[in-house]
Chains A and B, each alone.
Chain A
Amino acid sequence: MTARVVFRKASRWYGPVMALNDVSFELGPGVFGLLGPNGAGKSSLLKLACGQLRPSQGTVELLGRPAFGSPEVFHSVGLCSDTDAFFEDFTGLQFVSALLSLNGFDRAEAEKLATAAIETVDLKDAMHRKIGGYSKGMRQRIKLAQALAHQPEVLFLDEPLTGMDPQNRKRISDLMKRLGEEGRTVLVSTHILHELEQVTRRVLLIHNGRVLAEGDLGEIRDLLDRHPRSVRLKARDARGLARELVLLPDLVSLNLEDATGHLLAEIRKPDAFFSRVQELSATFGVEEMWVTDENLESVFSYLVRK
C-alpha cells in the first residue's frame, strides 16, 4: 500500500520562529495519532499536511501530489480543523450540504451525503436546528460530519474530541477506529494521550517542532501514568458526582469551583477514572469533560532528556 501522506525533511518557520523542524514520516492506511503539548507544532504540521501552508524547506506530499497548491486532492481529503468557524445561521444540514456543494455535488446528492454524515456523528435529531444554538460538543460533531461527508480517503482531525461528553467521546472514538479499519488514513491531532489510546496504538510524538518519537503508544502511556492529569467536568449534579468520584483510589484531588460549578479533578489512572465517569454520566448528568492536561509537558521534557 503506497503512503498517502509523506513528509520529507519538511521544515516550516514563521520569521524567526521555527514551527516545524526537519520532519520526515510516511502514513499509509489506518489511524495515526499526532501527539504533543500545546505549541508543539501539531497545527503547523496538519496545515502543511493538508496544503494550507507551504513548507519552508523539504517536501510534503498528499496522495502523490505536492500538498501545497494541489486543491484537487481535496476531492479525497477531509479536514476537521480546531477552529470554531461556522455559518451560525445555517442549520447543521445546510452547513454540511453547503460545504459539499463546494466539492461539486449537486443539491440532492449533497443533502443525501450530508444527512448520512450527520447520522454517522449521531446528530440527526439536531440537524434542522441552527448551529448558533449548538453546544460545544455538537459543534465538534458537525465539524466532523463536514469532514467525513464526501467520504475522503485521508482525514485530518485536529482535537476532534474537545468538549464532548463521555458518551459521544466513545462514539466518535469508535467512528475514527472504524474509518481506519475501512482503509482510510486518519491523522488525529491531540494533546490528550487517553483520547488516542481508544483509537490507535500508532503515534507521532511531536515537541518543539520536532518528531520525538514515532511508534507504539504503550511506552509513552507508561511514562505519562507517573504524572497526574487534570480533568474538568461539567455536570447537572456536580456535588453528587463528586461524592462518587472521591471514592476512586487514584484520585489525587477534587475541587468544586464555586464560580463555574465545574469539578476539577487530578487523577493518576485515567482509564479507571474515565470508565467510572462514563458509568455515572447518566445518573449525574455529565454534560462536558475536558482534560486540561498541562502535565504532558513534563513527559515530553522527560523524553527530551532521555
Chain B
Amino acid sequence: MSSTQIYEQHYRRLDASIPLRNNRWIPIAREGLKALFALRAYLGLIAIAWLPVFVRLVQVYFTTRFPEARRIVPVDDKLFCDFLGQQIPWMLLMSALAGAGLIANDMRTGGLLLYLSRPLTLSDYIFGKVAILFVSLSMVTLIPGLVLFLGARSLAPDVLGGMSHLLLVPKIVAFALVLVLPTTGLVLAMSALARNARFAGLGFFFVFVGSTVAQAIAWRATRSSYAGLISIQASMRRVGEAIFGLKPSRMTADLPPEWALAVLAVLFLSCLVILKTRVRAVEIVK
C-alpha cells in the first residue's frame, strides 16, 4: 500500500530502539497505591488494623508500672510473634480489599492492554501489582510490628533497651515476610484465575481458611503435626515460632519449620507461575 506523498513531520520522533528503562514497575505500583489510598475503606482498614499496636503498647506500659505483671504478659519475643500472628485476619481482609481486583479487573475490562501497550514487559506488570499488595499488607503487619517494637523499646528500656534486643528487628521483618509474600502470591493468583474481584476474594478466603479447617480435621484424625503442612496459616505460624525461637503450638509440635517454610515457598512460586501463564493468556477473539 504505497503512494507518493510528502509528509510533514510535526511531532517529536521517539526512537523505537530506546532501551527499556529500569524500575518500570514503580509507576504501576505508585498509581495503584494512589488509587487505593483514595478509598475510605482502605484507610479505615489500616486504622483498625493498627488498634492492636496501641493495645500492646498499653500492655507494655502497664508492665513498666507493675513489673510483676510481666509474669502473665511478658515483654519478650513472644509478644511480637503473637502480635504478628494476630494480624493475620487483618491481612486477609486487606488482601481481599486491595488485592482481589488488582489483576481480575484489568483482565475483565481489557485494562491489561492499557499497560501492555506501553514500554513494559509482563513481568513489570506483575511486579508492579505484587508491589501494591506487598505494601498494603506490610501496612498491617510489618510496619505496625516495627512501630510496636520502637514503641515498646522506648516505653520499657529496661526490658527491650539492650543491643541484643535489636535482633528483634530482623525477626519481625522475617516473620512479616513469611506472612506477606505467600499471601500476596495467593491473592494475585486468585485474581488472575477468577477474572472477577468478588470471586477472587472468595476463592482466596476459601483456600486460606479452608486449608486451616482441613488441617484441623486431619489433625483430629491422625494427631500428626505434619497435618500443619496442609494449612497456610499453621505453616506461617510454625515458621514464625521458629524465627522467634518459641515453643511450637500443640498441633504443630513436631513439625520441622523448614518443611513449613518449604510449603510456603512452593506456594509462592506456584502462584508466580500461575500469574505468568494466566496473565499472558489475554486473548479475545472478536
Is A71 an interface residue when CB atoms closer than 8 A count as contact? yes
Q: Is the CB of B11 within 8 A of A151?
A: yes
Roughly how many angstroms separate A151 CA and B9 CA in the complex, as a whole number? 11
Type the 1/0 row for A49-73, where 1 means its CB is closer than 8 Å to any CB of B: 0101100000000111100000111
Given contacts A38-B286, A81-B117, A89-B35, contact A72 B19 (CB under 8 A): yes
Closest B residue to A148 by beta carbon equals B11
Tell me, yes or no, whether B116 is within 8 Å of chain A by CB. Answer: yes
Identify the closest chain B residue to A156 (Cβ). Answer: B117
Instruction: Mark interface residues in A202-237 (1 if CB within 8 Å of B CB, else 0).
Output: 101000000000110000000000000000000000
Scan residues 24-70 of chain A and give those whose CB is less than 8 A from a CB of chain B: 25-30, 32, 38-39, 41-44, 47, 50, 52-53, 62-65
Neighbouring B residues of A108 by C-beta, 8 Å? none
Identify which of residues 62-113 in chain A touch chain B, using a CB-to-CB cut-off of 8 Å: 62-65, 71-79, 81-87, 89-90, 98-99, 101-104
What separation, in Å, do the CA atoms of A32 and B114 have in the docked complex? 22
Q: Are B17 and A72 in contact (CB under 8 A)?
A: yes
Q: Which B237-286 residues sit within 8 Å CB-CB of chain A?
A: 282-286
List chain A residues, Cβ under 8 A from B71.
none
Closest chain B residue, CB of each to CB of A13: B285
Nearest chain B CB to A40 CB, angstrom units: 8
- Could you tell me the distance between the alpha carbons of A184 and B16 in the complex, rounded to whole angstroms? 13
B9 and A102 contact, CB distance less than 8 A: no
* Distance, CA A199 to CA B137, complexed state (A): 50
Is the Cβ of A101 less than 8 Å from the Cβ of B31? yes
Give the residues from 1 to 40 in chain B that come closer than 8 angstroms, CB to CB, to chain A.
Answer: 1-3, 5, 7-21, 24, 27-28, 30-31, 35, 38
User: What is the count of residue pairs linking A and B with beta-carbon distances less than 8 angstroms?
Assistant: 142
Interface size class of B (residues with CB under 8 A): 35 or more
* A116 CB to nearest B CB, Å: 11
Contact residue among B15, B18, B116 (Cβ-Cβ distance under 8 Å from A52): B116
**Contact present for A150 and B27 (CB under 8 Å):** no
Q: Which of B30, B119, B283 contacts A72 (CB 8 A)?
A: B119
Does A28 contact B2, Cβ atoms closer than 8 Å? Answer: yes
A87 close to B31 (CB less than 8 A) = yes
Q: Known contacts A74-B119, A76-B14, A90-B35: does B114 contact A43 (CB below 8 Å)?
A: no
A17 to B285, CA, bound (A): 9
CB of A214 to closest CB in B, whole Å = 6
A55 CB → nearest B CB, Å: 13
| Residue B118 CB within 8 A of the other chain | yes
Contact code string A114-151 (vs B, CB < 8 Å = 1, else 0) = 00000000000000000000000000000000110011
A195 interface contact, C-beta 8 A? no
**Of all chain B residues, which has the CB nearest A69?**
B121
Q: Is B205 an interface residue (CB 8 A)?
A: no
Q: Is B5's CB under 8 angstroms from A30's CB? A: yes
Does chain B have a CB within 8 A of A22? no
Question: Do the beta carbons of A75 and B1 come within 8 Å of each other?
Answer: no
User: Are B1 and A26 in contact, CB atoms less than 8 angstroms apart?
Assistant: yes
When the two chains form their complex, are residues A63 and B16 in contact, meaning their CB atoms are under 8 A apart? yes
Q: A72, A84, A202: which contacts B16 (Cβ < 8 A)?
A: A72
Whole-angstrom distance between the alpha carbons of A300 and B106 in the complex? Answer: 34
Q: Can you name the residue of chain B whose Cβ is closest to the Cβ of A76?
A: B16
18 residue pairs from A and B, CB less than 8 Å apart? A19-B285, A27-B1, A38-B286, A43-B284, A47-B283, A52-B282, A72-B19, A73-B16, A73-B119, A74-B119, A75-B15, A79-B113, A82-B110, A85-B106, A102-B118, A104-B119, A146-B114, A153-B14
Interface residues of A (CB under 8 A from B): 1, 14, 17, 19, 25-30, 32, 38-39, 41-44, 47, 50, 52-53, 62-65, 71-79, 81-87, 89-90, 98-99, 101-104, 146-147, 150-153, 181-184, 202, 204, 214-215
